[in-house]
Amino acid sequence: MRAVWIAGPPRSGKTAVALGLSLVLRERGWRVGYLKPVSELPPERDPDARLMKAVLDLPFEAAALVPVAVGPSYLPAHDRLEGYAAGLSRAVRRALEETGREADVLLVDGGGHPFVLASLGLDAPELARQLGAGVILVTGVENDYSLDALIFYNRYLAARGVTVVGNIFNGVPRPLLAKTEGVYRRVLEGRGHRVLGVVPRHPEIGAPTVAEYYEVLGGELLAGEGHLDRPVEDVLVGAMTIESALGYFRRAANKAVVTGGDRAEIALAALETSTSVLILTGGLYPDVRVIARADERGVPVILVHYDTYTTVEKMGTVTRHLHPEDRRGVAIARENIERHCDLTALLEVLQP
């Protein structure tokens, strides 16, 4: 059995890569296992583990797929640290043995931040080293710093004695595709780091849905209950004058617009452009014209009692999670691996 750790920063699309890769491998006759050693959620609530268990029809309980769940205040009293660390390490090893027993390749999902549990010597790089797992590094692309971070991760893992089998640029925005192929790939490979793929951004799996924002924000849904599956690709704050509102809102498609509930003209201007959801702050109910127009356009309207700053801050924590019933999203994850990654190289590095 070969263990392959899918690692990268938060929101880089690691689980989508693991999902797509697992489906492609399974179609080619491989037995694929899955493990997420560390999560910030209880095993039964972890959406990534639920997704992989359902799609791959894995016969394991959630606790086997996610053996360690910790929050930001996980450290016990000082005199219990050693025993606590040893217990977590044993849990991970038991899960590795159980989930990998019948697998040709075990895909290990790096979860959130790779530094979590570093104080106990159980951070992602150290666990990958202990498990003898090769690492596929996945990164999103925002600007040139994204390449710098990827080079840094490659060098750091090499210094820790961890083998990086390749890199995937994932969810690359259309305007940056040419630069990623022509500059970032060349620079990375020129420094001896293998590139396994450049995957374009797909809003269907890369952008959070209105439902995911609603889950985090709560509040009251005033319109658009049947359109919560709309993707949200950008967030704009409607704090401008009405004279400049239309031009501002036309800059972004499939966006969330956050504005005060008493700013009817701003809300109506947003509804005349490509808006996925209208979020009204301050607990102020809008003019009936706003609700009527939102119903006509099929745009959800969410009323929250936070101020605008707090609302936008909470929205910054929302991430896209694929669900087993999202057949289109699952299909895109598979297509991304087959169409945009070097399958020959992937199969070569994944051989047990």
CATH tag, 2-205+321-350? 3.40.50.300
Tell me the CATH architecture of domain 208-315. Answer: 3-Layer(aba) Sandwich (3.40)
How far apart CA 37 and CA 271 sit, in angstroms, is 44
Percent of the chain clearing pLDDT 70 (strictly above)? 100
Closest CA to 192 of 156, 166, 172: 166
Which residue spans of the chain are classified as CATH 3.40.1390.20?
208-315
Q: Which residues contact 9 (CB under 8 A, 6 or more apart)?
A: 113, 114, 139, 140, 149
Please give the pLDDT value at position 102.
86
Read off the pTM. Answer: 0.83
Q: Which residues contact 191 (CB under 8 A, 6 or more apart)?
A: 151, 154
pLDDT, tens only, 215-246: 999 999 999 999 998 999 899 998 888 888 88
138 half-sphere exposure, CB direction, 13 A CA radius: 29
Predicted confidence (pLDDT) at residue 87 exceeds the cutoff of 70: yes
How far apart CA 1 and CA 277 sit, in angstroms, is 46
Please give the pLDDT value at position 101.
87
pLDDT, tens only, 92-124: 999 989 998 889 999 999 877 889 999 998 999
The b/e string for 337-346 (b: 16+ C-beta within 10 A; e otherwise) is: beebbbbeeb
- Range 280-298 average pLDDT: 94
Which residue spans of the chain are classified as CATH 3.40.50.300?
2-205+321-350
Percent of the chain clearing pLDDT 90 (strictly above)? 69
Please give the pLDDT value at position 352.
65
